[in-house]
Chain A
Amino acid sequence: MTTSAIHRAIDAVWRIESAKIIAKAARMLRDVGLAEEVAQDALVTALERWPRDGIPDNPGAWLMTTAKNSAIDHLRRRKLHGLKHEELGRELESQEEVRQAQALADFEAALEDDIGDDLLRLVFTACHPVLSPEARVALTLRVLGGLTTDEIARAFLIAEPTVAQRIVRAKRTLSEARVPFEVPRKDALAARLESVLEVIYLIFNEGYAATRGDDWMRPALCEEALRLGRILAELVPAQPEVHGLVGLMEIQASRAAARIGPSGEPILLLEQNRARWDQLLIHRGLAALERAEQLGGAFGPYALQAAIAACHARAHTPTETDWMRIAALYDALAQIAPSPIVELNRAVAIAMAFGPAAGLQLVDALMSESQLTGYHLLPSVRGDLLAKLGRTDEACAEFKRAASLTRNVRERDMLLQRAATCASPPR
């Protein structure tokens, strides 16, 4: 094998193993930042040695052992510092013996027990609410996704030093806030899980919202979010909302190939060529949704959004769409997770189910909503409903307003075109 072939093979092993190695080291060292360094060191050692000595039979185990040994060295050094080491000292201030015994027990257990528990601890730590959403996203992609800062920077279209700094700060915040490396207790689990799901969905949407087809890292974000979601669904299989989120992402991802036209223009859901929807992902999404429902989670916010997506996925032409059901699902969503955006979507569903007048009534009620000021989809939807009702002058004005608000050039063109059509109705 050439050196570059070996490097690619190491990359592959790293992608599969890095989260587990960091999780295990974090359990031993009780410090995610240090654990990541230890794991990185193991990677660097592999990059040095494997091209020379060949790839070991079990490369994953090799990396894990190397990282573990290096973690043990760190712990020894701490001990040599006369237990006056800053962090140990801090721990020893209170309940010295109990903590020490606990640390030892944890350490012993960390060497042996199920890697799944450690991974889950890592998930909850990287997505801890003490961190800002941006910090959680960056840290999660780094320690759980195994992405480099360069890859994260390219995916989010930001400078690499910004990402690096964000990650450094996140680690420092975790350490300063003394966030324990643990899975939250049952009473706190739901709230903490929400924060984890939010991070995964943010990653997904960052990739999904992009209409630029030229950067391969953006679709890669969707795949990464899906992978993290699927991993989480295996770690906490009894949590319905995890399956709800996975279902939602699988179904949305199934439309990836259909939602962007040949020259990069966005294609709206109802105009997509449904033949290009990925049936395997739809099938997986529907199965995940069913699992969420079986676990009693049909009315979780993600499960509801997945159920709405499923209505579209099940309809093989737009006219077959069950808009009544979609409207009802938006009703439920508006009750548990009310927001002006949900309300706007509900208005669209109501218009499709019960006619444009009913929808317009709801949209009009949103006109004074401060959160939607400057949001181009509000006048865009209103223009569409007005046009359907034959109120062309008003519709034209709304399309123009929407065009002035959108930042997407192709969307602006589309809206201006609709405005022009309204101004001079055919025949």
Chain B
Amino acid sequence: MRFMMLMIPKGYETAAPGTMPDAKAVEAMMKYNEALQKAGVLLALDGLHPPSMGARVTFPGGKAKVTDGPFAEAKEVLGGYWMIQVKSKEEAVEWASRCPASENEVIEVRQVQEFADFPADVQDAAAGFSEMQARQSRGT
């Protein structure tokens, strides 16, 4: 099963555009990433620029409305994620526990939905979506 480990750094919701983690934290995190890789469990990972460089699209009355970051109302925002393939939720939690995170960081562990988890009608609906996704990732 696949899990997302979602990194939520407190304070990132107000971080200035271009904010980068310091070299020391990156070094420790690289070691951790390496450990995930060497254990054969890491599928993908990314870090995200602060929300002050992003935008939120909301849908008041079903119509898209764009608000540029930062977002005054946000209490927690994502800083990055890892996607891992493990045998159990406990294994995912164990990996998350090994992260050299600081006191103001939270890792939320969430299982990725697999196609087989969906009932048949949702599978049919999802198939159309993944087809589009497949086309995009093959650059057509």
Q: Which residues of A contact B (CB under 8 A)?
A: 8-9, 11-13, 15-16, 59, 116, 220, 223, 226-231, 234-235, 257, 262, 273-277, 279-280, 282-284, 314, 316
Contacts and interface: CB of A to CB of B under 8 A. Distances in A.
12 contacts: A11-B88, A12-B88, A12-B91, A13-B94, A15-B91, A16-B95, A227-B85, A234-B37, A275-B127, A279-B137, A280-B44, A282-B137
Top 6 A-B pairs ranked by shortest CB distance? A275-B131, A230-B40, A12-B90, A227-B40, A12-B91, A231-B40
B134 A274 contact: yes
A220 B128 CA distance: 27
Contacts of B94: 9, 12-13, 16, 59
B39 A231 contact: yes
Interface string B114-140: 111000100000011111011101101
A275 B130 contact: yes
Contacts of B130: 275-276, 279
B31 interface: no
Given A13-B94, A234-B38, A220 B87 contact: yes
Contacts of B115: 257, 276
B106 interface: no
Interface residues of B, number: 32
B77 to A, nearest CB: 24
A231 B38 CA distance: 5
Main secondary structure of the interface of A (DSSP, over half): helix
Interface in B81-105: 83, 85-88, 90-91, 93-95
A275 B133 CA distance: 8
B90 A316 contact: no
Contacts of B140: 316
B133 A279 contact: yes
Nearest to A59: B94
B101 to A, nearest CB: 15
A279 B93 CA distance: 25
A284 B38 contact: no
A298 B119 CA distance: 42
Which among A116, A275, A283 has the highest number of chain B CB atoms within 10 Å?
A275
B28 interface: no
Given A12-B93, A220-B87, A226-B40, 9 more contacts: A116-B38, A230-B37, A231-B39, A257-B114, A275-B129, A279-B130, A280-B83, A283-B137, A284-B43
A9 B134 contact: no
A234 B120 CA distance: 39
Which among A227, A229, A277 has the highest number of chain B CB atoms within 10 Å?
A227
A284 B93 CA distance: 24
Given A16-B95, A227-B40, A284-B43, A316 B135 contact: yes
Nearest to B126: A275
A26 B83 CA distance: 32
A275 B40 contact: no
B41 interface: yes
A262 B124 CA distance: 12
Nearest to A228: B40
B113 to A, nearest CB: 12
B134 A277 contact: yes
Nearest to B91: A12
A81 B42 CA distance: 46
Given A13-B94, A16-B91, A316-B140, A229 B40 contact: yes
